[in-house]
Amino acid sequence: MIGLGGARFLAGLAAFGCLAAMIWIAQTRIAPVAPDGVLLQTRVFGYDTHDLWTFALAIGRAGEVQAYRTMVLWLDSAFVLCFAAFTVLALWPNRVLAFTLAVLYAATDLMENLRLLEAVELAAGGAVDIPEPGTLSVVGYLTGQKYFLLAMIAGSILHRRLTEGKI
């Protein structure tokens, strides 16, 4: 029978494996065709609508929509679920905090993924006018919120480990 620590390790290992596969696809297929070689998902403070549509058009013109779709729908979704499971297991004694952070993170990241994929697929059709820089992007806001929640999760896990004397 696997204990809580073993389950936490396996969930973390699965999340790491998904993340490693995403990074490989992102760096070998998507980043080379993305403007400035940067994926929008990695911008900690978000981005505007101009950046979103410029990115989406670049992916579509380069013919990498399928690779991006695979990465977002399968690998990123699997990562989100594994990381949410890891979060719950890492914060388990405090169930309310564990489930709240895990669900908020998963919902935010999955919404970001769906909106990014929607933009890339719309842009692949070519019927998109790129707005001026500085226009608010809900997707960019979700990306920023995702990183804020990651920081809250990391801080909560660190606090728990420190108060238990395990660090």
Burial 45-73 (b: 16+ CB within 10 A, else e): ebbbbebbbbbbbbbbeeebbebbeebbe
Q: What is the pTM of this model?
A: 0.89
Domain interval for residue 91: 4-163
* pLDDT one digit per residue (tens) for the chain, 167 residues: 788 889 999 999 999 999 999 999 999 999 999 988 888 888 888 888 888 888 888 888 888 888 999 999 999 999 999 999 999 999 988 999 999 999 999 999 999 999 888 888 887 776 667 777 777 788 888 999 999 999 999 999 999 989 887 77
Task: Please give the Cα distance from 112 to 104 (Å, whole number).
Answer: 12
- Report the domain count for the chain: 1
